[in-house]
Amino acid sequence: MLTRAQLRHALQEADSLLEELGVDQESPIDVFDIVDQLGLWLVFNPLKNLLGAAVPTGDGGIMLTTERGVGVQRYTAAHEIGHWILDYGQPTFDTEDDIYRPAADRELLAQVFASQLLMPPPLVFSVCARYGVRSSQTALPQSVYLVARDIGSSYEAAARQLANLDIISSARRDELLRVEPAAIKADLSLGHRPSGAVDVWPVGLDSLGAILNVTEGDEVVVLLPENRTTGYRWLTDDDLRRRAQRTRNAPPELDPSANAVPAQRDWTPRRRALESVKTVDKALARVPGNTGVIRVLPPTTPAAPSSGAPEFGHRLTVVDDRFKASRTPMPAAQRRTARRAIAHNTARVPDEPTPPATIAGTGTRLLALRSAGEGREAFQAVYSSTYDPHAPATDTYSLEVDITPGPAVLRRREYLAIDLDDGEQDGGHSD
């Protein structure tokens, strides 16, 4: 059973390390830089049953798995630093339960140390204020995920730290932990599910002209309002190229020698007879699955990503492109009536209410961009006619994405650079 003095000691050791290294506690903590400043080796390997390990042999070092996302890697690294400082040279090999649901006292102390090191209170309160997380009532799963993403931690670790700092209750923490991060990402992205354990960055018009800093593999989900009834849409460079290939036929010229048909001044449109309504009903009845009150339709599933998805430069690739209507779903009992209203326009069926027939409306254009490589990439879309290749753009949306490789790639580069430097020095001596 841990005492208050032991828990206080773990917190103080984390605070002392941040103070000693001069780390800004209001900005995201670079835990891998802390590993370097401690003089420890850092190795990434595809560990199957472990999240990390601390090995005191030789100069000492930390090993992390490549099988999990960057947020989990950062938090595991902080946990292993805790073992290195608190356990005085004892080796440790940590599973997921050891990191997030510790039973042993030494694992619990390392968890307390890791939370304080990676998520110090000034940083947590600052990011929580950004997303309006002030209490259990305002700590929605989506907001807590965004807090964890911006801090650089995992969703589970962030939820636990919010409870440690009394921002939320332990009951609310348990509720948050029952929500899967994958479901939260899909909800933030209006149904789009990213591939793999990556972060999502939903952006809209409020991010116009911004610069996003993401890790390679993360997905930027652009959400733009769009009214397709106007014939205008947000067009990417690939859309504009397809539109430019369209041809417009000029209307036929009128023959001035032809006799014009005189207009009938007293003509008024006639309402369709009931017989035409019955004709429409018979036609609808012949449609498969449309004989009952509710038409049986195949389930709607998101379209699979096209293999020929357009690319923006070499670093952003469209992996999902869809339109989500903003109208509310129509009750099942009214769907057949709505189809009938669309089919025969002004005709009405006696004693049957006809709901307004919504053919199209305002919605959201969703473009999911998968990041790859390294460097800065620009994304741009213009709001213009889908069909007229000569139509001007009425609005422009632009965004810049700065992509950084994952920590495993950066670490390999550093070790390769050390090897190359040693090789050059050896070559110089041999001469």
Supply the pLDDT for residue 430: 41
Q: What tens digit of pLDDT does each residue of 332-391 get?
A: 666 666 556 555 544 444 455 544 444 445 889 999 999 998 999 999 999 999 988 889
Q: What tens digit of pLDDT does each residue of 50-94 get?
A: 999 998 877 789 999 999 999 999 999 999 999 999 987 789 999
**Closest CA relative to residue 196, chosen from 366, 67, 27, 15:** 67
Annotated domain spans of the chain: 4-182, 200-245+307-326+362-408, 331-360
Q: Tell me which long-range contacts 343-347 makes (C-beta under 8 A, separation of at least 24).
A: 343/280, 343/283, 343/284, 344/272, 344/276, 344/277, 344/280, 345/272, 346/271, 346/272, 347/271, 347/272, 347/274, 347/276, 347/277, 347/280
> Which residue has tokens 């017989």?
275
Determine what percent of the chain is predicted with pLDDT higher than 70: 73
Determine what percent of the chain is predicted with pLDDT higher than 90: 59
Please check the confidence at residue 262 and state whether its pLDDT lies above 70.
Answer: no
For the segment(s) 200-245+307-326+362-408, the CATH number from 3.40.50.2000, 2.40.50.140, 2.60.40.2020, 2.60.40.1180 is 2.60.40.2020
Rounded to 5 degrees, what angle do the CA atoms 67, 15, 87 make? 60
The mean pLDDT of 201-209, rounded to a whole number, is 91
Q: State how far the Cα of 191 lies from the Cα of 197, in Å rounded to an integer.
A: 16
Residue 327: partners with Cβ closer than 8 Å, 6 or more residues away: 358, 361, 363
Strand order, beta sheet including 200-203: 200-203, 219-227, 362-371, 316-325, 311-312
Contact 172, 136 (CB under 8 A): yes
Q: What tens digit of pLDDT does each residue of 36-51 get?
A: 999 999 999 999 899 9
Please check the confidence at residue 311 and state whether its pLDDT lies above 50.
Answer: no
Supply the pLDDT for residue 348: 46
Supply the pLDDT for residue 66: 93
The mean pLDDT of 176-185, rounded to a whole number, is 96
Supply the pLDDT for residue 295: 45
Over the chain, what is the mean pLDDT? 83
Supply the pLDDT for residue 247: 66
CB atoms within 10 A of CB 406: 17
Rounded to a whole number of angstroms, the CA Rg of the chain reads 30
Q: What tens digit of pLDDT does each residue of 282-310 get?
A: 766 665 555 444 444 444 444 444 444 44
Supply the pLDDT for residue 373: 86
Q: What tens digit of pLDDT does each residue of 113-169 get?
A: 999 999 999 999 999 999 999 999 999 999 999 999 999 999 999 999 999 999 999
250 versus 187: the higher-pLDDT residue is 187
